[in-house]
């Protein structure tokens, strides 16, 4: 990656501002407003500053998420590739549990396929066979995205700096081997309070969720934090994201993978 242009003091200042939004539940203004010349590399530097801070505080990395896998969203944000963010152990919500009220600022949900890795993919030989052989199993997942940026007023710099708009995630509990799945054609239905609100399929994720995994494996090797055995990879949304509020119940069903559920506690 190209070296960031922002000085270390400014990187830390913006990182601290985003961390503060987690604690106060008060969103901040878009990063790009104060720093109109900030680049994607600057945004990743801000994200990395927070990742390093949280690791020092004792949080545990368990994998990574891929964002911006839909071409329509890439076009909206003016980019031609996905982005990534860190997954920490304390972001996991058990299947069927409720998210405590007040934990998130402005949550939305997406249905995704999660990969759990058997080993580190060989970043120099990311063939389809190599990617398949690096995956232990897949699970259905709900990513609960969130934004520390006011009103979700984001562009590429804002979302990357904000850990790719990560919030929490929920994994299903029945592992499925890849040879039992058609990752490209598997259909998805997302329900909120019993109503079908989002539809999609594996092909919505860069044409195939394996393509997203390949992109991430190369990128994480490039930044010096390669994927490893046991890592969870959220491969990207299979359909449009949906806003949620306290009291909502969400269920995602993905063909061949089963279902996963999460609720949102009332205030």
Domains and CATH numbers, the chain: 60-264 (3.90.850.10)
- How many angstroms separate the CA atoms of 80 and 69, rounded? 10
- How many angstroms separate the CA atoms of 136 and 177, rounded? 7
Q: pLDDT per residue over 190-210, tens digit each? A: 999 999 999 999 999 999 999
> How much is the pLDDT for 3?
59
| Closest among 125, 133, 264, 143 to 198, alpha carbons compared | 143
- How many angstroms separate the CA atoms of 254 and 149, rounded? 30
Whole-prediction pTM: 0.95
> How much is the pLDDT for 2?
57
| Closest among 265, 256, 263 to 113, alpha carbons compared | 256
| Closest among 163, 151, 63, 142 to 99, alpha carbons compared | 142
Cβ neighbourhood burial of 58 (10 Å; 0-12, 13-18, 19+): exposed
Q: Which residues of the chain have pLDDT under 70?
A: 1-4, 76
Q: pLDDT per residue over 47-98, tens digit each? A: 999 999 999 999 999 999 999 888 777 776 777 789 999 999 999 999 999 9
| Closest among 55, 53, 68 to 110, alpha carbons compared | 68
Residues in contact with 188: Cβ distance below 8 Å, sequence separation at least 6, in sequence order: 111, 198, 199, 200, 201, 202, 238, 239, 252, 253, 254, 255
**Beta strand 242-243 pairing with 83-88:** unpaired
Average pLDDT value for the chain: 94
Backbone angles phi, psi at 232, to 5 degrees: -95, 130
Q: Is the dihedral of CA 249, 250, 256, 258 positive or negative?
A: negative
Q: Are 264 and 98 in contact (CB under 8 A)?
A: yes
> How much is the pLDDT for 234?
98
Q: Are 84 and 66 in contact (CB under 8 A)?
A: yes
Q: Are 106 and 167 in contact (CB under 8 A)?
A: no
Q: Cα angle at 171 between 168 and 174, to 5 degrees? A: 175
Beta-carbon count within 10 A of 130 CB: 15
> How much is the pLDDT for 74?
75
Beta-carbon count within 10 A of 217 CB: 23
- How many angstroms separate the CA atoms of 215 and 83, rounded? 9
């Amino acid at each position: 990656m190209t070296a960031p242009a922002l000085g270390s003091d400014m990187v830390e200042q913006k990182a601290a501002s985003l961390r503060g939004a987690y604690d106060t539940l008060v969103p901040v203004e878009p990063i790009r407003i104060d720093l109109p010349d900030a680049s994607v590399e600057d945004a990743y530097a801000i994200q990395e500053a927070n990742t390093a801070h949280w690791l020092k505080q004792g949080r545990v990395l368990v994998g990574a998420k891929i964002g911006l896998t839909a071409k329509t969203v890439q076009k909206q944000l003016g980019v031609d590739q996905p982005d990534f963010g860190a997954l920490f152990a304390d972001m996991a919500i058990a299947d069927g549990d409720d998210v405590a009220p007040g934990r998130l600022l402005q949550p939305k949900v997406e249905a995704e396929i999660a990969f759990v890795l058997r080993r580190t993919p060989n970043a120099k030989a990311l063939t389809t066979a190599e990617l398949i052989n690096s995956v232990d199993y897949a699970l259905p997942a709900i990513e609960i995205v969130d934004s520390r940026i006011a009103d979700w007023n984001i562009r590429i710099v804002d979302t990357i700096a904000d850990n790719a708009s990560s919030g929490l995630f929920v994994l299903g509990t029945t592992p499925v081997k890849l040879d039992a799945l058609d990752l490209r054609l598997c259909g998805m239905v997302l329900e909120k309070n019993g109503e079908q609100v989002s539809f999609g399929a594996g092909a919505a994720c860069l044409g195939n969720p394996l393509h997203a995994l390949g992109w991430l494996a190369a990128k994480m090797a490039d930044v010096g934090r390669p994927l490893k055995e046991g890592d969870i990879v959220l491969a990207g949304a299979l359909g449009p994201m949906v806003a949620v509020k306290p009291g909502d119940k969400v269920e995602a069903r993905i063909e061949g993978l089963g279902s996963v559920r999460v609720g949102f506690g009332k205030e």
